[in-house]
Amino acid sequence: MPLILWVAAHGSLIAIVVICVAIEVILQGADHGFWGSPRWRGLAYQNGGFWRGLLDNWQPNYAAQPVTMFASYGFLHGGVMHLLVNMITLVSLGQLVIERVGQLRFALIYALSLLGGALGFALLSAAVQPMVGASGALFGLAGVVTGWEYTARRLAREGIGPVLRVIGLLTLLNVIMYWAMDGNLAWETHLGGFLAGWAAGWWVREIDQS
């Protein structure tokens, strides 16, 4: 497919990547003194990260923060490597979803997965530090693809062993990352995103059949 046609067919995916990359570039520039202030990253996390305590009795920086953080956390990252890994994963999984359901429904699935990741963190985590990153939505995309494969195999009366292996690999990946990061992994976000993505994918599939 010519590049211009690929871009046109994946505009919503590209928009998400551009926003995430632009934010991290701005923060990296501030970190290294090219512009702004080194305080910008801290301010971004303070105002855009997901703070579990804001759902209890913490004082927000602005009135809407306890609501907006359910989306804003997904566009902030903890550095270049965090961004790079997430964006590579986003492009890989995002293309698969767009090719099946189109850009608008991809955007809807992504948004629901992002929300599901935040809900998972809100319900299961007791962390006092902020949670940032697109991985909740990315696990949602993985949940969509896995759920579609599960449904296809059930309809074809085939075994679901490959689906269980994918779930097992994702679980193992989280265990390894949790250990490698000394527990600083928001697995709750990954779980919430995966479940929300699986459900959203089933719902979109039902819409396609109606």
Look at residues 50, 74, 64 and name the one whose alpha carbon lies nearest to residue 137.
Answer: 74
* Annotated catalytic residue within 37, 72, 135, 210: 135
Distance CA 160, CA 178 (A): 27
**Residue 113 annotated to the active site:** no
Look at residues 112, 129, 116, 114 and name the one whose alpha carbon lies nearest to residue 54.
Answer: 129
**Residue 12 annotated to the active site:** no
Distance CA 101, CA 12 (A): 13
* Annotated catalytic residue within 10, 72, 113, 190: 190
Sign of dihedral through CA atoms 23, 24, 28, 34? negative
The answer to whether 21 and 87 are in contact (CB under 8 A) is yes
Active site residues: 135, 190
